Amino acid sequence: MADKSTNNIELKVLVDRRSNKVIFIEPENDFLDVLFSFITIPMGTIIRLARKHSDPVVIGCMNNLYASVENIDEQKFWIDICKDMLLHPRNAADSHCNDLNLKLDDTEPRRYFMCPNLCKVLSYYCTYCPSCLLIMNMEKSLSLRASEDGSVFVKGQTSFTVTDDLQVIPPNSSANSVFTKLGLMDVDATEELTINIGTVEILNLLMCSLVSKTALTETLLKPQQDLKSRSTVLNQAIHTESQMSRDSMNDEEDKISLNLVVSKSKKMVCYAEAGEDFVNLLFSFLTLPLGFLFHE
C-alpha cells in the first residue's frame, strides 16, 4: 500500500532464505502501475535517469547518442525546441503517469497548443501547424478523468504476482502453481518480509531491469551491489577505406545513403558520414518508449 505522506510503497516479499533471493511479491496496484509505467518511458529519459543513479548504467551506445545531442549547438537544429525534445522527450502516457504514487520521470508535464486557426493540437510551444503553417501559441487545456479507486493502468482490487525477473502472473494463478512454475520445492525455507520502497528503490529497479534477470533481489535485498557494465576498448591502429552503403527496411522504402569508413583488418565500421535524414532517424531513437523496443 502506498503511503502518500511519505511517498513510499509497502511490499510483501517472499524470500528464499537459503539463497537470499526474492521468490515473488504480491503487490497492490500502486506498485504494478509504477512497474508498468517503465514500458512507457522514452529512451532519452531513461538515459537521463541512469545518470542520476549511484552506479550509472551504460545502455549500449545510447549514452553516446544522448551526449551527442547535448553537445550540438542549438543552431544546428531546425528550431531551438528540437534539442529539448530529444533531451527531455515526452512520454505519450504522461497524463496517466502523473497520477502514479511514485514517479520517476522529472520531465515537465505536457502542455498543448493550437494555432490561431484552430487546426490541430500539438504538445510543443512555437512549433508550426502542419495544416496552415502558423505558429502554435494558443494553449489548450486537456484533462483526463481519474479512476475512482486511484488506479492508473490496472483495475483496483486485482491481485497479481510479480517474480524476481519481473514476470507479472495473472490473479487466476494459485500460490501452488506459482511455486511449481518457479521450481520451488522446499516451501519451509521461505520467509515473508515487509519492505518499504520509495523513488530511490524504484529507480534502482528500473536500472536493474535493464541489466539483470534478478531485478527484485538486486533492488530489495542487495542494493549495495554495483551494476556492472561491460565495454570493449580497441587500442590497436585501424586502417581504413571508404565504402558506400545503401540499406533500407525493404526495397519499396526510401533508402538512405551513408559513406562508411571501415577497418579491413577488424572488419568493423569506424565512422559514417551521413546527411540530415540519417541523423534525424538516429536522434529519434531517444524519443522511443522502452516498450517499443520489444514490440513485434
pLDDT at 138: 85
**Residue-wise pLDDT tens digits, 216-259:** 999 998 754 555 543 333 333 334 444 444 444 455 467 888 88
Query: Is 60 exceeded by the pLDDT of residue 269?
Result: yes
User: So what's the pLDDT on residue 187?
Assistant: 67
User: How many C-beta atoms surround the C-beta of residue 243 within 10 A?
Assistant: 13
| Cα distances (angstroms) measured from residue 125 to each of 122, 129, 130, 155 | 8, 11, 14, 35
**Half-sphere CA count of 227, side-chain side, radius 13 A:** 26
284, three cell numbers: 529519434
2-3 vs 240-247, strand pairing mode: unpaired
- In which band, very low, low, confident or very high, does the pLDDT at 120 lie, cut at 50, 70 and 90? confident
Residue 194: how many CB atoms within 10 A of its CB? Answer: 8
- Mean pLDDT lowest among 134-138, 243-247, 288-292: 243-247
Of residues 272 and 155, more confidence is placed in: 272
**Average pLDDT score, the chain:** 79
User: Could you read off the pLDDT of 191-211 as tens digits, one per residue?
Assistant: 899 999 999 899 999 998 988
User: What is the DSSP pairing of strand 21-25 with strand 8-16?
Assistant: antiparallel
